[in-house]
Amino acid sequence: MNVQTNLPIDMSKLEKLAEVSVKVGLDLAEGQDLIITAPLEAQPLTRLIARHAYRAGAGIVTTLFSDPEATLERFENGRDGSFDAAPAWLYEGMGKAYANGAARLAIVGEDPMLLSGQDADKVSRANRANSQAYKPAGEKISNFDINWNIISYPTLAWAKRVFPGDTEPMAVAKLAKAIFAASRVAESDPVAAWAAHNANLAARSAFLNGKRFAALHFTGPGTDLTVGLADEHEWHGGASPAKNGIVCNPNIPTEEVFTTPHRLRVEGHVSATKPLSHQGTLIDEIRVQFEKGKIIHAAASKGGDVLNRVLDTDEGARHLGEVALVPHSSPISQSGILFYNTLFDENASCHIALGQCYSKCFLNGASLSKDEIAAKGGNSSFIHIDWMIGSDKVDIDGIDANGDATPVMRGGEWAD
Ligand code: ZN
Ligand code: ZN
């Protein structure tokens, strides 16, 4: 195979990342089709994934590339009426492929600030149209009908954001190294390293499931927040079985254990501990106030207008769909790197997510209807946006049904 050799990226580790994605991230089944989305620049990785997918017995591997330059052309030259439209035909096709058993791999790595100079109204209209058109297909992912995986590729534009003081090749080399370390492909046997990591996350989830807390209470600088948990919520972390029976690791990297909050039982105020990079805009120093589960006030030192537009996406956008715990000593947190990418940054810190909940985070979640999930407190929305609220200054107590508190985290680390 012809791979680029002039890249400042360790190709043997890139190949290990491809192998981990196919064997651990997806656990692709014999004969299973695979749909990949990727930025154009990630071609060296998509080719290696195709190699490992076909070696694993894949059916047909289809890669859909996105071109950031073409996206900019749209915002700079597209007619105004076009920003309320989305390629529904494509998403319908993806939905059909999932329904027919295909697996899904997203390779991320676009410039996190790609759209930062564009008209915020056009950006939010385009995002909304896209979210709506993708929802039927996206629900097959959020309901975990199929095995899916997200990994990342160190594009030049992203690397320059993360390491602005370095030369271009050095920035790419550093980002590649950070991605490989966080994705555990720097280990001699990455597949075995993932098995051990998954066992740790499963033990944490089992501990929290045994406690059956009614709520989590977060306290720290600018934060006094009680997150009620959904009735019959279930904690998950690391590998878990999709409804098609395949045990996969959706996020690579992942350090979190997470569950579903009750959409009407969140009270108090919370301050973000890291900036949120949301579809091209950096939203910094978010502070929000909850009442009966709903965000009644939201502000940010930067990007507040974008934040408030996001909150107006739909009814569920002002309610929580996820709460996740990550120790401050996680490798991504210790790297000290702000990736401007949720896949990494959410794994550096405890976080909450606005919007859609995961149905798998309920007891017998796979068999629950939408109405049953809503009745237990699960939230529904076009969006799911994680933002970081943990640090070494945040304490968390688990509150049981009688109101008694048990330390869960102290100074950002597991209390036990
Ligand atoms: Zn999460
Ligand atoms: Zn999330």
DSSP of 210-257, one letter per residue? HHT-SEEEEEETTEEEEEEEPTTB--EES-EE-TTS-EE--BSS---E
Q: What are phi and psi of 209, to 5 degrees?
A: -65, -35
Has residue 128 got a pLDDT over 50? Answer: yes
324 Cα–ligand 2 center, Å: 8
139 Cα–ligand 2 center, Å: 14
Q: Is 36 left (phi over 0), alpha (psi -120 to 50) or beta?
A: beta
Write the DSSP symbol of residue 302. B
CB atoms within 10 A of CB 132: 17
Structure token pair of residue 370: 């939408």
293 CB-side CA count, 13 A: 21
Mean pLDDT of 380-399: 95
Q: CA-CA distances (angstroms) from residue 49 to 14, 135, 159, 205, 311?
A: 10, 26, 22, 30, 37
With a CB cutoff of 8 Å and minimum separation 6, the contacts of 12 are none
Has residue 315 got a pLDDT over 50? Answer: yes
Query: Rounded distance, CA 38 to CA 21, Å?
Result: 14
82 Cα–ligand 1 center, Å: 33
User: How high is the pLDDT of residue 1?
Assistant: 47
Following DSSP, what letter does each residue of 335-396 receive, concatenated?
HT---S-HHHHGGGS-EEEEEPPPGGGBTTGGG--HHHHHHTT----S-EEEEE---TT-EE
Strands 276-278 and 281-283: antiparallel
| Distance between first and last Cα of the chain | 50
256 Cα–ligand 2 center, Å: 10
User: How high is the pLDDT of residue 261?
Assistant: 98
Mean pLDDT score of the chain: 94
Mean pLDDT of 50-68: 98
59 Cα–ligand 2 center, Å: 30
Mean pLDDT of 248-271: 97
| % of the chain beyond a pLDDT of 70 | 99
Confidence grade of residue 2 (pLDDT, cut at 50, 70, 90):
very low
171 Cα–ligand 2 center, Å: 27
User: How high is the pLDDT of residue 5?
Assistant: 55
205 Cα–ligand 1 center, Å: 13
Contact (Cβ atoms closer than 8 angstroms) between residue 414 and residue 296: no
Q: Is the dihedral of CA 7, 13, 19, 22 positive or negative?
A: negative
Mean pLDDT of 131-144: 91
353 Cα–ligand 2 center, Å: 5
74 Cα–ligand 2 center, Å: 29
Strands 148-152 and 384-388: unpaired
343 Cα–ligand 2 center, Å: 9
Q: 207-221, 231-245, 290-304, 331-345 — which is least confidently predicted?
A: 331-345
167 Cα–ligand 2 center, Å: 33
264 Cα–ligand 1 center, Å: 20
Furthest-apart CA atoms within the chain: distance in Å: 64
User: How high is the pLDDT of residue 165?
Assistant: 97
321 Cα–ligand 2 center, Å: 8
Has residue 98 got a pLDDT over 50? Answer: yes
Domains of the chain: 11-182 (3.40.1830.10), 212-236+256-414 (no CATH)
210 Cα–ligand 1 center, Å: 20
Nearest-5° Cα angle at 105, 60 to 59: 15
User: How high is the pLDDT of residue 285?
Assistant: 96
Has residue 250 got a pLDDT over 60? Answer: yes
106 Cα–ligand 1 center, Å: 16
Has residue 6 got a pLDDT over 80? Answer: no
Query: Rounded distance, CA 214 to CA 404, Å?
Result: 10
Q: CA-CA distances (angstroms) from residue 123 to 49, 127, 161, 277, 300?
A: 31, 6, 20, 14, 19
User: How high is the pLDDT of residue 86?
Assistant: 96
User: How high is the pLDDT of residue 28?
Assistant: 98
pLDDT tens for each residue of 187-201: 999 999 999 999 999
Query: Rounded distance, CA 359 to CA 23, Å?
Result: 25
User: How high is the pLDDT of residue 367?
Assistant: 87
Nearest-5° Cα angle at 381, 380 to 386: 105
Contact (Cβ atoms closer than 8 angstroms) between residue 170 and residue 154: no
User: How high is the pLDDT of residue 132?
Assistant: 93
pTM: 0.87
237 Cα–ligand 1 center, Å: 9
